[in-house]
Homo-oligomer: A and B are copies of this chain.
Amino acid sequence: MIAHRHLWILALLAWAGTPLPADEGMWLFNHPPRRLLQERHGFEAGDAWLERLQRSCVRFNSGGSGAFVSEDGLVMSNHHVGADALAKFGDAAHDYLRDGFHARTRDEEKRCHDLELNVLMSIEDVTDRVNAAVGPGDSAAAAFRARSEAIAAIEKESLDRTGLRSDVVTLYQGGQYHLYRSKRYTDVRLVFAPEQQIAFFGGDPDNFEYPRHDLDICFFRVYEDGRPARTRDFVRWSASGAAEGELVFVAGHPGHTDRGLTVAELASLREWDYAYLLQWLCYREVNLAAWSAREEENARIARDDLLGVQNRRKARLGGLAGLLDPALFPGREADEARLRAAIRGHPELRGADAAWDRIAAAQHAIDAHALRYRLLEAAHGFRSSLFEIARTLLRAAEEREKPDGGRLSEFREASRESLELELFSARPIYDEYEIELLAQGLTWLAMRAGAGDPLVRKALAGQPPRGRAAELVRGTKVKEIEVRRRLYDGGKAAMHAARDPMIEFARLVDAEARAARDAIDVQNEIQAQAHARIAQARLALEGASQYPDATFTLRLAFGVVKGYSEDGRSVPFQTTMGGLYERWASHQGRPPYDLPQRWIDQRSRLSPPTPLNFVSTADIIGGNSGSPVVNRQGELVGIIFDGNIQSLVLDYQYTEEKARAVAVHSQGIIEALRRVYGADSLADELIRGSRAR
């Protein structure tokens, strides 16, 4: 599964004017690959076609993509994208994530705790304004500050003028800055989710694999003023669904790729990021699984987190295998050498050659801070909801006293509503789970930073990790939303007066956490400037730039529905309902190859040849989960939910030999809704494009 929060990390094309492999690219909607589509597939991507698709797409703040599928605000995404919302509904008597959910009437549609959906309304290139803020002689720290201030001003101005969520997005590693304006929906209600068994049939062994047999879907409805929103732009349902050899488009929010990295950055990724993260993920997975095994209720509480960690672990392992494949680095090194030589041959570009060395030096400096950053700022040492809440309160009090442009980005005015939605969410928080998570984190902190480290000693405050975690969790008052509100409104004075142990704990580690973040921000600024130089030189040598690395912003990918060959064996483009039952039977229904009882009961009602999943060559990555797959007519033929194992290298290199995007077929969705779930009114709404009136 490929939701953004389950990030893997991909790589801008090889250099040297080599044409892109056939179906490569995560294209900007303001720079769509019109010529490519015309030349390769004879398709004319018209403005109206593009705009309608753009405005039909939805981004989930919890990570992932989706699309409007009716004019009455109905949104389709993946079960694993909706998992976060499903988990937050549960209690000891209700496990919606495991058992599914179906609102048979509008009144039964269930409002989500803190889910925000965004629809991209416009894009504006603000590169010149952002760059103009930085003086040629500014130090990296000064440049970072000035750039942050310019970005904050642009966002605030846009928000005030349009009322739309306004985000300045960094593209091409700092080569360009674009302002993305989005409509926010915060009244999002759950309509339908199948059981996890069928959404994630095959579990971890089948995750990132193909052939596949999953009904990984979930439906929400956005509301405005208490009524279903009228969504003029939505994706119409295709009568036939995806067919072999057909050109298809994927519009969604790939989270992050690393194709534009230099070799030095890529080497750091391999030696540091992947190696560290894999160890952290394995540690978390083992501990979450062990805690889950103790009680059924533990399993329910931790399920979404555990699935997320397992998913990231498998993705990272696949990505690391790609980074360790000696096929990768020599090619990249040769490309880089060629580009640098070409640059040195042009006197007016010559300065750009040094950019690589500046990037490498900055990366070296980043690597020196990376562990501290992960443990403290990324909170691997204290990962828990209550710590996150306490730190947000602590920092909000400090940051809101500063001018908007000088704040940490998440505390800027343009982000305020989204921040408050999450901070004041009524999602359940479980003390025993919080203690477990915090004890795990503190143990990891001591393992990695060393028990003798002064900050570790301060953090443990003379107690063993579990004792310290219990004291903090049981002592804090920030579990109560009203307390959060009072502290948030009361600012610094209220925070000090509260003497809340979790807030004081957050304060204890905050100076070092901020220092690690600052240190990396400054180096990132150096890298951004150097990447901008490289981008300019590349533009001069190669002409119009291609697509930038993924940044969890809306992108257009395209490809062909087709199978592939693996170890001499042909892997067909689609799987069927019949294949699902075969796989179930061949594993004797043992988990994770077990089916929900209703799928066993309704088996005879399902037509075995109905397509269930299919693959295409579209270029996707984590965050694309839930992306609509549409045909030339812009009709929905499927929904992305995964990539195959060969796609795990797409983080840093596209390949269409075997890498495939995996989607649920539109026919399989309708068949399951009608025959297994008796959800005819939902199926009708999909086919009609509107609710029955």
List residues of chain A with CB under 8 Å of any chain B CB. 203-205, 267, 270-271, 274-275, 278-279, 281-283, 285-287, 289-290, 293-294, 296, 313-314, 317, 320-327, 443, 446-448, 450-452, 460, 462-466, 587-588, 590, 592
Contact = CB atoms under 8 A, between A and B. Distances in A.
A283 B278 contact: yes
- Per assembly, the copies of the chain total 2
Given A205-B294, A282-B285, 5 more contacts: A205-B293, A267-B452, A279-B279, A296-B588, A320-B443
A326 B452 contact: no
Nearest to A272: B450
Given A204-B293, A290-B314, A452 B324 contact: no
A110 B180 CA distance: 72
A286 B282 contact: yes
Nearest to A314: B290
Nearest to A588: B296
Determine which residue in A321, A465, A590 has the highest number of CB atoms from chain B within 10 A of its CB, and name it: A321
Contacts of A327: 464
27 contacts: A203-B293, A204-B290, A205-B294, A270-B451, A271-B451, A275-B448, A279-B279, A282-B282, A282-B283, A282-B286, A285-B286, A286-B286, A286-B313, A289-B289, A293-B592, A296-B588, A317-B443, A320-B446, A320-B447, A321-B443, A321-B466, A322-B464, A323-B451, A324-B446, A324-B464, A325-B464, A327-B464
Contacts of A448: 275
Contacts of A278: 283, 447
A431 to B, nearest CB: 15
Contacts of A450: 271
B321 A465 contact: yes
A279 B447 contact: yes
Contacts of A590: 296
Contact of A275 (B267, B286, B447, B464): B447
A355 B271 CA distance: 39
Would you list the 3 A-B pairs with minimal beta carbon distance, nearest first? A275-B447, A325-B464, A282-B282
Contact of A451 (B204, B205, B324): B324
Contact of A282 (B279, B321, B324): B279
Q: Is the interface of A mostly helix, strand, loop or mixed?
A: helix
A399 to B, nearest CB: 33
A100 B216 CA distance: 39
A287 B310 CA distance: 11
Contacts of A296: 587-588, 590
B465 A324 contact: yes
A625 B333 CA distance: 55
A284 B208 CA distance: 20
Contacts of A462: 326
Contacts of A281: 286
B452 A271 contact: yes
Contact of A324 (B313, B322, B443, B587): B443
B313 A460 contact: no
Contacts of A320: 443, 446-447
Contacts of A313: 286
Nearest to A463: B326
Contacts of A279: 279, 282-283, 447
A313 to B, nearest CB: 6
Contacts of A451: 270-271, 323-324
Nearest to A456: B324
Contact of A326 (B317, B322, B464): B464
Contacts of A282: 279, 282-283, 285-287
Determine which residue in A203, A451, A465, A466 has the highest number of CB atoms from chain B within 10 A of its CB, and name it: A451
A207 B408 CA distance: 46
Contact of A460 (B285, B326, B460): B326
A446 B460 CA distance: 33
Nearest to A290: B204
A293 B209 CA distance: 14
A324 B460 contact: yes
A660 to B, nearest CB: 19
Contacts of A275: 446-448
A101 B465 CA distance: 43
A152 to B, nearest CB: 39
A69 B431 CA distance: 49
A380 to B, nearest CB: 13
A293 B443 CA distance: 28
Contacts of A267: 452
Nearest to A298: B205
A135 to B, nearest CB: 38
Contacts of A270: 451
Contacts of A325: 463-464
Determine which residue in A274, A283, A443, A462 has the highest number of CB atoms from chain B within 10 A of its CB, and name it: A283
A82 to B, nearest CB: 24
A281 B283 CA distance: 9
